[in-house]
Amino acid sequence: MPVLEPAGAPTALLLHDSRATLVSNRKPATVLAMRLRLILALAALVAASCVDDDPLDAFVEVEPEIVIETEEPDTDALEEAAADTESEVDEAAPIEIPDDALDLSGMDQVALDIQDNAFTQRVVVVSAGTEITWTNQGRNEHNVRPAVEGAFEPISTLDLAEKGDSASLVFETPGDFPYFCSLHGTATNGQTGRVIVVS
């Protein structure tokens, strides 16, 4: 169980491109700061109440609230991007959905687990606009990186460093998004996963 020290202020994580948005569980949010403090305080109380009797103290994890951030849209840029994307989608070959894919389409939010060393739900089908949250259920640290560089903003190891850590991405555009953990795999081997986004 490696110990990762926080590496200073969270990095900017917004809207890498038009297809996916990273939503970090570590990013401070002014609007929701008080709610977050309240949640953490309650969690601390719960943890403290277990100290005397519960040998599982070491395993108590406080899961920070997911904070979804938005930014002012650049209308022109979005229209341009949308036009480009439509063109790309129209020209792209149809995506073959494997038999073992987990169909989670039609849901606004989807929760996926990570174990040591695997993405538990390896292939999922979601609808455009779905927010996917990965939670580290393992003892080791993990990350989520696109198999095709730039396909979406990666989730860093710092965001999935310990058991209970979670981080999210919003997949806005239909497409096939293979991904992997760079600590336990490569783009094509080992700890890999795949998100298929349908319209």
Partner 1 sequence: MRRLLILLSVFALVASACGGGDDSTETTAGDTPTESDSAAEPDEETAEPEPEPEEEAEPEPEEPANDNPLNALRVPQDFATIQDAVDAAEPGDLVLIDEGVYNESVVVETDNIVIRGVDRQTVVLDGEHSEEMANGIIVFSNGVAVENLTVKNYFSNGVFFTGDYDSDFILRGYRVSYVNALNNRVYGIYAFNAEYGLFDNTYAAGHTDSGYYIGQCQPCNAVLSNNLSEYNTLAYSGTNAGGDLFIVNNEFRMNRIGVTPNTLNSEELAPQRGATFAGNWIHSNGNPETPKGGNTWELAYGVGMVLPGANNNLVSRNLIENNLNGGVAVSFMPDGDTFWLAENNTITDNVFRGNGIDAVMVDQGGGEGLGNCFSGNTLDTSRPADIDTVLPCDGPEGDLSDMIGIDFFSPPGADENVPYADVASPGAADQPSMPDALTAPASPADVLPEFDDFDLDAIAVPSGT
Residues that bind partner 1 (CB under 8 A): 1-3, 55-59, 115-119, 122, 137-141, 157, 163, 182-186, 189-191
Is the link from the previous residue into 117 a cis peptide, with omega within 30 of 0? yes
Q: Which is nearer to partner 1, 53 or 71 (CB)?
A: 53
Q: Which residues contact 70 (CB under 8 A, 6 or more apart)?
A: none
Q: Which is nearer to partner 1, 30 or 189 (CB)?
A: 189
Q: Tell me how long the chain is.
A: 199
Token pair for 1: 């169980």
- Shortest Å distance, C-beta 61 to partner 1: 9
- Shortest Å distance, C-beta 101 to partner 1: 12
Question: How far is Cα of residue 47 from the mean position of the Cα atoms in its chain?
Answer: 26
- Shortest Å distance, C-beta 40 to partner 1: 19
Q: Which is nearer to partner 1, 75 or 188 (CB)?
A: 188
Q: Which is nearer to partner 1, 81 or 190 (CB)?
A: 190
Q: Which residues contact 2 (CB under 8 A, 6 or more apart)?
A: 140, 141, 161
